Amino acid sequence: MALAAPEVLTFEALEGGDWDALIVIGPNFSELDSDYQAAIQNAKMFDASVGETLSVLSCEVAPGNRLLLAPTGPLDRDYDDVRRFYDAAREAVARVAASGAKKPALMVTAVPTGALWNKALASAYFGFNQGNYESLEAREHHGDDVEPFATVGVVGNVDPSFVKSIEAGRRVARDICGTEPERMSPKRAAEYCQEAFAGTSVSVQVIDDRMQLEHEYPLLCAVARASFEVEKQLPAVVRLEFEGEGPIEESIFLVGKGITYDTGGADLKTGGHMAGMSRDKGGAAAVAGFVKALAGLNPKGVKVVAELAFVRNNIDNFAFVADEIITGRSGVRVRIGNTDAEGRLVMADPLAKLTEEAVSATNPSLYTIATLTGHAALAKGPYAALVPNKPAMSKGYVQRILDAGESWGDGVELSPSRREDFDFIRGRTKADDVLSSNNGPSATTVRGHQFPMAFLVAVAGLDKHGQNSDTPLPYTHIDIAGSGVEGGNWQHGKPSASPVIALAGAFLDK
């Protein structure tokens, strides 16, 4: 069950309805009314940690007589940001559920002044939903009631339509990313997308005919070569299209990596490194999540085209291998360096296709999103890495995402593309144009998360649309290998839906 639209309340309205708990989040609770202060002081007489740690108090004026204090900790340090409210709300979910509450309300207090704190309440709402979320498999097995709460009241100034739409998108992203590989195989991922966008203004096309796939996406089909013999593991490209009312003012093209399971292929993952590789579809999940958020808002003047590349990187007698030279959709000849560097291959042809379409679009920008490299996780920790070309920098697209990430609490960081990245992927012989990868782990490769962007630029034909070309196309590669799941735990961590909030804040917050 997705959380219903947050019901926006005034503080006085808490006395009505059937709200049965009030969760208050802030660095301190000195701004609360005197009746609440009295309850806090009384509780402190028996427990000095009240107000310093997560606490449930009996309070006669609170809905349901339950007052839950969720302290953020101090917010005046250089490194504090709005995510403190997200984290506190996330952690409060289990405690308020254990108290027996069924319909809590949420508010923030003592919020610092300044633009970077304006989204504190919205961030708390997103954090609450993150804590409340249970996986698709759990909901299908136990029923929707496995999630503690069906709705939450929000006390304060927040746009309920906007945050509900974003949260609906985050839910789609978490479902696709986190679901095990049989339940979310390529075919079933496509079916999930069809269900998720049914009745919306987003059109869904599933491309799963082998002949068409081999013609339009030859690099993707190389990765899928060992999957074609297994019906339930056949690859599929899901194309999502949205066109808002009125004259189009902005066109957004996105490609998502959807590796439903990554064995590594012929360069097999060993030593226990295969566990968690069902989450290697987090990029496609994030793209679908962003489009789902957009579907709830129906912005005017915006066109969005997305392609989700759902493929299983299998190994058998038909598997592609290192040293092969495969010609991509663009005509670029790719020498395979390592079959475990499959994500850039499945995205390259869809990106080439969307590049062709973007040339004639109004104010276009292009994005690839992927759980691509261990290097990104090491270099950026829990933040998404943005690797842009010069048009994306000069036209302000990257700054929009950076600013939105800070404002909305979905942090991203910049990793500029450099000449060394293009040198790295250059062809080594007259038989090939580019090299897909070296044959070592990305985490121990210099510029391991930046050079794949250069590969994608070269193979998609974006090198013909740079800053000094007649048709410059802004393009940004987004590596979410570090931000895609909580705590970097790819087998058990809850999917984070990164960077859905940042993208929605950048492109949908009008």
Catalytic residues: 269, 344
Residue 238: closest CA among 208, 197, 270, 272? 208
- H or E, element range at 153: strand 153-155
From the CB of residue 313, how many other CB atoms can be counted at a distance below 10 Å?
29
Q: What's 485's DSSP letter?
A: B
Residues 6+ apart with CB under 8 A from 149: 3, 93, 97, 102, 103, 104, 132
Residue 498 and residue 383: Cα distance in Å, rounded? 8
Alpha-carbon distance 141 to 137, whole Å?
6
Q: Tell how strand 333-335 and strand 325-327 pair up.
A: antiparallel
**Distance between CA atoms of residues 508 and 293, nearest Å:** 9
Query: Cα(209)–Cα(230) distance, rounded to whole angstroms?
Result: 14
Closest C-alpha to 479, from 447, 509, 440, 508 = 447
> What letter would DSSP give residue 231?
G
Residue in the block written with tokens 């991509």: 328
